[in-house]
Amino acid sequence: MRFLALGINHKTAPVAIRERVAFTPEQLEAASLQLRNHQSIKEVAILSTCNRTEIYTLIEAGNVRPVLDWLSDFHSLPIEDLARYSYIHEDQAAIAHMMRVASGLDSMVLGEPQILGQLKDSYDLAKKENLLGTGLELLFQQVFATAKQVRTETGIGTNPVSVAYAAVSLAQRIFADLKTSTALLIGAGETIELVARHLKNAGVAKMIIANRTVERAQALADEVQGRAVALSEIPHQLEKADIVISSTAAPLPILGKGMVEQALKKRRHKPIFMVDIAVPRDIEPQVGELDDIFLFTVDDLKEVIEENLAARREAAEEAELLISKSVQAFLRDLRVRDAGRMIRVFRQRAQQLAEQELALALSQLDQGQDARDIMQKLCRNLTNKWLHDPTLKIREASAENRSDLLAAASQLLNLDTSDKL
């Protein structure tokens, strides 16, 4: 058995590919169960965000291809395209990758904290559906502990930088004074919550939160002194918006070219700044072709994000060292657990031999045989039976000139062969 991490992210694939392999929240449960039913896969968890889709499994040795094939079939994506844009990490590399992801070292925004919460959501779902065994359970706990250590012992979280922060930062460049601007935020998830808080801190005059569940939008609106509306009201609210930032899990675009054209007419072509953070995209790409529309996707934010990373790079080097140590500690714990199973088997065998000889000795005592002779025979038999297999293996190793096995036996049995007995 081995750990496997297979995925596609913002470094390996454009948004057009990433949105095709992304899982909606409604798909995740069924997809996870479906993959778990494959005979070679023992444990599974799936992470799907706007920037990455990753599958973590404990899989039989030599069977990496089934995961790639399954992902290709599930999303109806040609295997050649998927193989071109995907990456596969195994065992130690998979463990280190998960720790880097959880710590924000593999994110578009170095050190961003949101990914850890998203990874915990993936773990919770897998746990709920009984998709985790001892292997991934232990790995996730080590990953979370390492991410916490990185967050507390390095400066990776200083100087707030995120996709949300970058989007607002870009808006500040385009609008001289956000205090006279109205923002329409579509969605009410964690990313939009961050956007709303950044906009509020930047002094945006008005905020409109549109979401499928109005109650959730209202909770966010109350926090930022905004207004909550249903998604169906977007066409009427769009004409009021100077800034539109969208991040939902909708499978199809929410804003189409026609809708935006109508809003521009009512605005008398006053420009609208738009950022589509969602994968799959919430805003049709054709919207960007319209005059007076400045449309950016998550990929367009990279330049803005890069300018805010300098302070985190040194901390990232420290984090990499912590992760390296954590990987080795985890592998050591796994080896100790494996040794524990071996020790249990060894002790059980010794116990069985002892019980067999004890039963024989008690039977002989009941028959009235001499107790001293019985005790001597018990001691001799136990010694011979306990040492039979090790003695045989030592002789075989010596005959085959296996000095490595002889040295290991000497160390395991705590022998000093220089002693004269």
Three-state secondary structure call for residue 293: strand
Q: Estimate to the nearest angstrom the gap between the alpha carbon of 150 and the chain centroid.
A: 16
Smallest CA-to-CA distance from 280 within 247, 240, 257, 325 is with 247
Smallest CA-to-CA distance from 86 within 96, 99, 100, 97 is with 97
**Out of 6, 47, 50, 234, which one is annotated catalytic?**
50
Neighbouring CB atoms inside 10 A of 296's CB total: 21
- Catalytic annotation on 50? yes
The strand pair at 227-230 and 293-297 is best described as unpaired
From first CA to last CA, the distance across the chain in angstroms is 45
CB-based contact 374:361 (threshold 8 Å): yes
How far apart CA 168 and CA 196 sit, in angstroms, is 9
Query: What burial letters (b/e) apply to 363-379, b meaning 16+ CB within 10 Å?
Result: ebeeeeeeeeebeebbe
Kindly compute the dihedral angle of the four CA atoms of residues 199, 202, 207, 211, in this order, to the nearest 10 degrees: 0
Angle at 142 between CA 96 and CA 107, to 5 degrees: 45
Active site positions, annotated: 50
